[in-house]
Amino acid sequence: MTALLQVRNLTKRYFGLTAVDDVSFDVEAGAIVGLIGPNGSGKSTSIDCISGFQPADGGRWSLAGVDLTALAPHRIARAGLTRSFQTVRAYDELTLLENLQVAAQENDGIGWLPSLLHGAKVRAAEAAAEARARDLLATVGLADYADAPAAILSYGQRKLLAIAASIMSRPRLVVLDEPVAGVNPTMVRRIEAVIRKLNEEGATLVIVEHNVDFIMSLCRRVIVLDQGAKIADGPPSLIRSDPRVLAAYLGKAGAEEAAHG
């Protein structure tokens, strides 16, 4: 597989504290890659930098050969890298369909003048966005609520809507930040099934998650950060038994006990 996202020597510091320390990795087209690590490991900071929501202090990253390093978030999204957030964002007063249409407008690049004139190009984009939105609502199991306000959704359903919004513009790569945090086991399985289906349809995904079992079940490759540094990168079967990963999660004594247990 071809490397779609390339991250080289990503570094981020806060007042002398190195939150991300010279991290490099690739993400291949068509992959589902997990990014895990204990609290404070640098996971969220890394994706905030890559998606343009925080400035990095060092490193470069590119998507399909396009340098994203100095771009603003909206330009990174238009280049093909979109994301969801730990805190679910939705316009409660708008319908689910309208929420996804807003997500499409944020990345369509049409501009204010054609939108104001509402010409043929805009009408075609609106029709395509509505069709795309209805398809995605069906994919995530929310088609029955297409014309209902987002305010009626449960927390887990809002997570599904956020996933649909992140992929609305057909990005090259989607970063999902804590997609199953705070949801019940039934919804975890439902979200996992949705992510698998999106991947089968061609989506490339990076998933940042505290739920290690979820990541190990879903991803064929897992990257592990600890104290800002990358300590492991490989298939779940190797990550589970890596002594550095065990030490990061369990402490040195716990890792030794697990290794001999």
**Of 213, 216, 109, whose CA–CA distance to 169 is shortest?**
109
pLDDT of residue 65: 94
Other Cβ atoms closer than 10 A to 43: 23
Summarised one tens digit per residue, pLDDT across range 161-181 is 999 999 999 999 999 999 999
| R_g over Cα of the chain | 19
Angle at 79 between CA 169 and CA 205, to 5 degrees: 65
**Of 36, 48, 49, whose CA–CA distance to 236 is shortest?**
36
Collect all residues with Cβ–Cβ distance below 8 Å to 118 and sequence separation of at least 6: none
Other Cβ atoms closer than 10 A to 61: 23
Asked whether 101 and 126 are in contact (CB, 8 A), the reply is yes
pLDDT of residue 258: 47
Task: Report how many domains make up the chain.
Answer: 1
pTM (two decimals): 0.88
pLDDT of residue 244: 93
pLDDT of residue 108: 53
pLDDT of residue 249: 87
Listed as ranges, residues in the chain with pLDDT below 50 are 110-113, 115-117, 253-260
Domain that holds residue 233: 3-260
Tell me the CA distances in angstroms from 152 to 10, 68, 257, one per residue in order.
Answer: 40, 37, 47
pLDDT of residue 118: 57
Report the CATH number that the domain containing residue 44 is assigned in CATH: 3.40.50.300
